[in-house]
Homo-oligomer: A and B are copies of this chain.
């Protein structure tokens, strides 16, 4: 995987729902029903991440919100892997 060009990043962002660019990463926030639902969501994201061998930063905050941040540290930027995992995660909801 190689870092994507800015124009490619914009195209791929538009194909996703609710993700935005933030400091060289893409992030999205979900509001769940409660803390237990937030943890359960993180478990499902974790399974997808393990299968993809690509690991987002995950913040559970305010007892029912989950923010995921994706980037490819080894490449110093955004790659196919980030957008592929984002699309899989969007398929969960």
Given A36-B46, A42-B42; A58-B55 close (CB under 8 Å): no
Within 8 A of B (CB), among A47-93: 49-50, 55, 57-63
Contact mask for chain A residues 20-48; partner B; CB cutoff 8 A; 1 contact, 0 none? 00000000000000011001001100100
Interface residues on A, range: 10 to 19
| Minimum distance in angstroms from A59 CB to a CB of chain B | 5
Asked if A46 contacts B55 (CB within 8 A), the reply is: no
- A60 and B50 CA atoms in complex are apart in Å by 14
| 10 A-B pairs with C-beta separation under 8 A | A35-B50, A39-B43, A42-B42, A42-B60, A55-B63, A57-B59, A57-B61, A58-B58, A58-B59, A59-B60
